[in-house]
Structure 1
Amino acid sequence: MARPDEVAYYFAYAPVTCTITDLARVAGMRWAIEECFQAAKNECGLDEYEVRRYVGWYRHITLAMLAHAFLAGLAADEAAKEAAETNPPAASSLSPWQRSAGSWNISCPTTEHADLGHEITH
């Protein structure tokens, strides 16, 4: 402990069956949550709302957190692709979203008319 004179404590309301390990795990999640909010403030303008009513504030917070979740998903996909480039994948990607030249495209598989079991006449 860096500062033995400083005492840190948590007050927990949990079931009797909850262990100290569970409480420590939940308390440790605080830092990840704070980092998430800080990233949302920096990248998505979470803290830049100028509203006067609850409804406007709620809309702003919801959209900012949705944008942050989308960006986090894109970052995770990029990290997975970079990892896949170093280790060749065993199967093709299941996601229909593909990145091409800095933009995202959706690729939908096409079915052959013969596979449908009927002919198309013109």
Structure 2
Amino acid sequence: MRKFIVLGILLLLFLVGCSTKTTDEKVATLVNNYLEAVETNDVSSMVKYADDIRFPDKAEQKEEYSSIIDEGINSNITGTKIVELKKVNETEFAATVEMIDEGNLTNFTFPVEKKKRGWKVIVGQDL
């Protein structure tokens, strides 16, 4: 009987461990979600996944992003992907991404930081 209890506990621990994403996977998913939002001009998702240091207020960030989309500035991005995701420390990653904008391939590196509200892509820094 004791053997079955131990096996049951081990199986439970194994299943819990397998069902939780690693931090790297969580950050990669966040960055991919952000990139998809950029490609599709989904302002709400861009604001959700990113902290823009130019706009500490989320409402202001959303308003400015909507204005940019309305002017057609962001609509030329046709492809994005993560090139490299590097762990800096326990609360920060560096995500190098590739973007195709008006047919031109450009690489950017974004910090990704763990905040009180979870992981966020940090945008708005000097490129």
TM-score (norm 1): 0.29
Q: Which one has the bigger helix percentage?
A: 1
TM-score (norm 2): 0.28
Q: Which one has the bigger strand percentage?
A: 2
- Larger radius of gyration between Structure 1 and Structure 2: 1
